[in-house]
């Protein structure tokens, strides 16, 4: 049985679209039951509706406190029967209470090789640091921002002449490949948290990999 999964977005929703596309494949172990946004104008809501997926706009500005907003959000997630929740460009900090409620069921994608470059402006900081490899990480969410057991990572080369936009676009392509694999690993039960690290069962099908590594940039 495919695990019922919700996706939370705030904007364009390109990672969400990658998950929706992947979930259409026969045998994919997650079924997307809801896309919700804290911003009613998020472009991703229209894309999800175009895929025939239920959508909700839960405008955080309409709630007095973070907790009130999250209570409304959890109510929608539970009404949809969500067992897993994927953050995909969801730009609200979540309270400890929400994170605890969804522990080991709440997944995020971050555009760096964690634990490097937590927070915003990851690509500008990677360029400033002069790293030769950056990438993206999918991880279970913990209370501290951009931390938590890492499910899967993709390495992406930084090329001579890269500016922030060029690097962001290359990493985003990797995100679109990585997130569906990471969700499949979790939804199929092949990736589990053991002692705050993710263990991946070795007989995972080769198309669900926890590591994407590029060829040398030369
Ligand atoms: C992605 O780079 C993701 O890693 C980060 O926010 C961005 C969202 O982009 N958390 P999109 O909305 O999925 O296109």
- Residue with CA nearest ligand 1 atom 1: 89
From CA 130, how far away is CA 43, in angstroms rounded?
A: 33
**For residue 153, what are its two tokens?**
């990572």
Ligand 1 within 6 A of CB of 137: no
Number of H helices, E strands in the chain: 6, 10
Dmax over Cα atoms in the chain, in whole Å? 53
Ligand 1 closest atom vs CA 9: 12
Across 111-209, the runs of DSSP E, i.e. the strands, are 133-140, 150-157, 191-194, 197-200
Give, as one character, the DSSP assignment of residue 104.
T
pLDDT for the residue numbered 155:
97
CA dist 186 and 189 (Å) reads: 5
Question: What is the DSSP-derived secondary structure letter of residue 96?
Answer: H
Catalytic residue among 110, 123, 139, 176: 110
Q: Mutation test of ligand 1: which of 14, 15, 183 has the most ligand atoms closer than 8 Å to its C-beta?
A: 15
Catalytic residue status for 101: no
Report yes or no: 108 and 141 within 8 Å, Cβ to Cβ. yes
- Please report how many Cα atoms fall inside a 13 Å half-sphere around the Cα of residue 159, on the Cβ side: 15
The superfamily (CATH) of domain 109-199 is Formyl transferase, N-terminal domain (3.40.50.170)
Radius of gyration of the chain (CA): 17
Q: What is the pLDDT of residue 209?
A: 83
Round to whole Å and give the CA distance between 190 and 200: 6
- Please report, in tens digits, the pLDDT of each residue of the chain (218 residues total): 899 999 999 999 999 999 999 999 999 999 999 999 999 999 999 999 999 999 999 999 999 999 999 999 999 999 999 999 999 999 999 999 999 999 999 999 999 999 999 999 999 999 999 999 999 999 999 999 999 999 999 999 999 999 999 999 999 999 999 999 999 999 999 999 999 999 998 777 777 888 888 665 44
The best mutation among 45, 89, 108 to test binding of ligand 1, ranked by most ligand atoms within 8 Å of the C-beta, falls on 89
CA distance 196 to 215: 30
How many Å apart are CA 109 and CA 148, to the nearest integer?
Answer: 11
Closest residue by Cα to residue 156 from 124, 131, 133, 188:
133
CATH no. of 1-102:
3.40.50.170
The residues spanned by each domain of the chain are: 1-102, 109-199
Specify the pLDDT at position 216: 52
**By alpha-carbon position, which residue is closest to atom 7 of ligand 1?**
89
> Looking at ligand 1, which residue's alpha carbon is closest to its atom 5?
89
Q: Which ligand 1 atom minimizes the distance to the CA of 10? A: 12
Is any ligand 1 atom within 6 A of the Cβ of residue 15?
yes
d(CA 141, CA 151): 11
Give residue 181 CA to ligand 1 midpoint distance, Å. Answer: 16
145 secondary structure, DSSP code: T
Q: Is 109-199 in the same CATH topology as 1-102?
A: yes
Q: Of all protein residues, whose CA lies closest to atom 9 belonging to ligand 1?
A: 89
Residue 215: its pLDDT value, please?
60
Is the distance from the beta carbon of residue 88 to the nearest atom of ligand 1 less than 6 Å? yes
Tell me, what's the pLDDT at 196? 96
Q: What whole-number distance in Å separates Cα of residue 142 and Cα of residue 149?
A: 8
């Amino acid at each position: 049985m495919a695990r019922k999964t919700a996706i939370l977005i705030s904007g364009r929703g390109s990672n969400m679209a990658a998950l929706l596309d992947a979930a259409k494949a026969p045998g994919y172990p997650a079924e997307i039951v809801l896309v919700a946004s804290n911003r009613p104008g998020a472009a991703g809501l229209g894309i999800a509706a175009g895929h025939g997926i239920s959508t909700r706009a839960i405008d955080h500005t309409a709630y007095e406190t973070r907790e009130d907003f999250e209570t409304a959000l959890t109510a929608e997630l539970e009404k949809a029967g969500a067992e897993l929740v994927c953050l995909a460009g969801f730009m609200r900090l979540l309270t400890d209470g929400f994170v605890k409620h969804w522990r080991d069921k709440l997944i995020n994608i971050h555009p760096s090789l964690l634990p490097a470059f937590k927070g915003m402006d990851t690509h500008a900081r990677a360029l400033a640091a002069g790293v030769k490899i950056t990438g993206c990480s999918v991880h279970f969410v913990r209370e501290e921002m951009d931390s938590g057991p890492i499910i899967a990572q993709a390495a992406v080369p930084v090329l001579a002449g890269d500016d922030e936009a060029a690097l962001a676009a290359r990493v985003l392509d990797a995100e679109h490949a990585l997130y569906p694999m990471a969700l499949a690993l979790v939804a199929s039960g092949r990736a589990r948290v053991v002692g705050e690290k993710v263990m991946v069962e070795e007989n995972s099908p080769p198309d669900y990999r926890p590591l994407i590594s590029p060829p040398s940039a030369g």
